[in-house]
Structure 1
């Protein structure tokens, strides 16, 4: 979407400020390509050794599913707000997977409790779910479990994961540096649960695998929501940091391996990112300054805050909302990123819906000129975010020589912002030098027939549920075939 007609009603000073902001937040094709080039370099660095900006975690998910995997599985997803437990039946038939689920609220005291309280809560919730669902099990016939644990973790085996650092508000001592799978197994053993933990899964990898289960054109799994991340499949031979790993020596060098990139920390050194003073403010005021720099510029948690910081800055400089009380706007993170979608999607006369929202939620009245200014600012921030998000995917595609396919994307930004997909696709085409003919091609096998181009976004399947079940099924299948690399508790 382009500029509002003529920026009607803006004062000379505010017009100048808008032009400065347009220059500040615009990322042209040349800059996108520069970012993507550095992105590729950091992806490679993460494959070379541990401890790099982009972690490139090895998952021990050996390739994509066939779509024929079958079986019944328990899955547990430890999220930031809820614990989600599912009973999933895979039939091996497209779109015929059944899911029974229950969510258990995570209280704030659990997030800061001791280690035993966390695992006791999870094991106890599992016990309750198994009883409620009347799942048939015994010590001789165990229920197989896929555990979605979406926190930075190193996996030397698919059924073990060493937590590197807590995120999402967790501060539980005794878990970081330890194997979360072992801790969960101990808690389940105390309750004598007939459950066997088969695989520990990251949600991004799970989204990719769940989508590929029904859509063989899936090439990458991505998260464009509160955070940003991607997973893809590489060959074992292309992961030098595993050259001395005894498990890798059991595999053919051409074996495919899913990689959880964890690329929100791209360019923490600030070599190529077009960082504004507002981005720096977000970083400085965050719990971990200097970390996750790319995520702070492109992910949903921060876009609304960027908008707020600009508005407050202009107010204090006497250029915006003059002589009005903006007390509610002064509160950090008081503007949710979804509000940017609301502003852009407002086609009411004189942006009356946006005006009503600011009056109702923030007790401040915008003039017509200020509403036009706010709309353009919302566009600038959202456009930059979408274009930045294209860089990570473009880097993976260039690195792997991928020229077409589906990027299975989960997250509120990807699936709820009205303009994200088009802006993302436009940027991807610029980076990958799509021809005019490429840009016009429609891929009717996707879930949005409005999208064009050889690489399109599809809505990701349930990575924390179905994805974990499919990965558990794949793991059991290769263990039965004697391919036990990366499986410890076989």
Structure 2
């Protein structure tokens, strides 16, 4: 049997032997997930056009939210500030000590956000945030007074319409949150109200998106930082834009030249003009809690990749091309094929794909699998993971081109589990950037930016003081 051709720029799982029907089906799926160089450039160009629309007018698909953070960290700042980071599953509370010379020390504690809090009344969620702040202060013996409140930067990783450094209304929830009573409300006011009612001596002085925080934290250590990016449960980016280019800020005056823009790129192409939608993506979107929203996020974030792969696997099962046509109760459940499984499967370099076998037969309770089954599953994971990395690169290249820095180079700080743990994700992004930017892509540094959202929120609190 002739090996299935590789149409990507990546080394994909090959097969020892398979039938013509297997070969035809896998070829077809491979082509659906392929994004060649021309398509990559087209997506990147459209992304940049959407960015400029968002800079011109409010209410655009790519919102380009002004952060009102106009200071750029120098690395010399010193002081101690609090940071509260609400992202996906966890809430993180930090005390950040800025030591100068780009050095920081952090004391932190994580708290679980239950599904009932994510989907219950928003007041209960914000009361829980205030309780966690209070608990943290007690645990670490941090004291203050009602007259001299501790300053806190609030990292809120959801789309907001921000009107000041410490004011911003929630546009809509993402990442599985639906808590009613928050959309259209000022989230800083809601948090401060909860803190005040519980008599917690803390003042919320800055509101930042997690990407804004990541950008500020990375810039504190690397002066040539252009972008802060999240590639994890969700995805987004923030960058330093010239204030003169932010046309929708007509009445804003500042002595500064630049402002941090929260791109909110998860919503890119909600209109479905350029992203390569497959029936597997459409199925995921229809059954999601936010249909026809967050289009790009559903292609490249950790919350969704496993579900896309699961949809492909079920399609092959229905065609009796996988597992002899049998599924399992676990594999039939939405979101049960986790992105973490994909990471393990992609990293499985054993001859018989034993790690893949354990996931399929022990974690997902499939009765038995053949080597060909496991090879097909690995190929599917590679296709979904590779497409996610290439689309991430399309977004990055658009921002880099927008800022006219391809020749001089820049540093990009990236946080999130996909970038940190997913096999070859960074390398795949770098290869795709080279396709978009040519040799200048070698001057783009992609660095891990751990704890960016917490340290960045503290920096924003300091810059707002």
TM-score, with normalisation over the residues of structure 2? 0.93
Question: Among residues 222, 239, 244, which one is paired with 2:246 in the alignment?
Answer: 239
CA distance in 1, matches of 2:87, 2:443: 34
Question: Among residues 119, 127, 134, which one is paired with 1:127 in the alignment?
Answer: 134
Shift of 1:81: 2.9
Partner of 1:56: 64
Shift of 1:82: 3.2
Partner of 2:180: 173
CA distance in 2, matches of 1:385, 1:113: 32
Shift of 1:283: 1.2
Mapping of residues 464-479 of structure 1, within 5 Å = 464-476=453-465
Shift of 1:323: 4.9
2:307·2:337 contact (CA, 8 Å) conserved in 1?
Answer: yes
**C-alpha RMSD over aligned residues:** 1.8
The answer to whether the aligner puts 1:67 opposite 2:75 as a matched pair is yes
Question: Among residues 440, 451, 457, which one is paired with 1:462 in the alignment?
Answer: 451
Question: Among residues 13, 17, 28, which one is paired with 2:21 in the alignment?
Answer: 13
Using a 3 Å threshold, how does the CA distance of structure 1 residues 257 and 165 change in structure 2: closer, same or farther? same
Question: Among residues 207, 219, 225, which one is paired with 1:200 in the alignment?
Answer: 207
Shift of 1:334: 1.3
Task: Indicate the SS of the match to 2:322.
Answer: coil
Partner of 1:374: 377
CA distance in 2, matches of 1:195, 1:323: 58
Partner of 1:289: 291
Task: Indicate the SS of the match to 2:49.
Answer: helix
Partner of 1:210: 217
Task: Indicate the SS of the match to 1:432.
Answer: helix
2:87·2:210 contact (CA, 8 Å) conserved in 1?
Answer: no
Shift of 1:121: 2.7
Partner of 2:262: 260
CA distance in 1, matches of 2:294, 2:462: 33
The number of residue pairs the alignment matches comes to 453
Shift of 1:4: 4.0
CA distance in 2, matches of 1:109, 1:357: 29
The answer to whether the aligner puts 1:230 opposite 2:237 as a matched pair is yes
Partner of 1:341: 343
Partner of 1:418: 423
Task: Indicate the SS of the match to 2:352.
Answer: helix
CA distance in 2, matches of 1:80, 1:265: 17
TM-score, with normalisation over the residues of structure 1? 0.88
Shift of 1:135: 2.2
1:69·1:474 contact (CA, 8 Å) conserved in 2?
Answer: no
Task: Indicate the SS of the match to 1:103.
Answer: strand
Partner of 1:406: 411
Shift of 1:115: 4.2
Partner of 1:479: none
Task: Indicate the SS of the match to 2:164.
Answer: coil
CA distance in 1, matches of 2:35, 2:132: 47
Mapping of residues 108-123 of structure 1, within 5 Å = 108-123=115-130
Shift of 1:216: 1.6
Partner of 1:488: none
Unaligned runs of 5+ in 2: 1-9
Deviations 1:94-123 (A, max 9, x none): 33x221122333334333444443333322
CA distance in 2, matches of 1:182, 1:323: 54
Deviations 1:304-350 (A, max 9, x none): 12221111111111222215343322212111112222122111122
Deviations 1:360-419 (A, max 9, x none): 112222212222222222222211111111011100111110221221111111111121
Using a 3 Å threshold, how does the CA distance of structure 1 residues 350 and 172 change in structure 2: closer, same or farther? closer
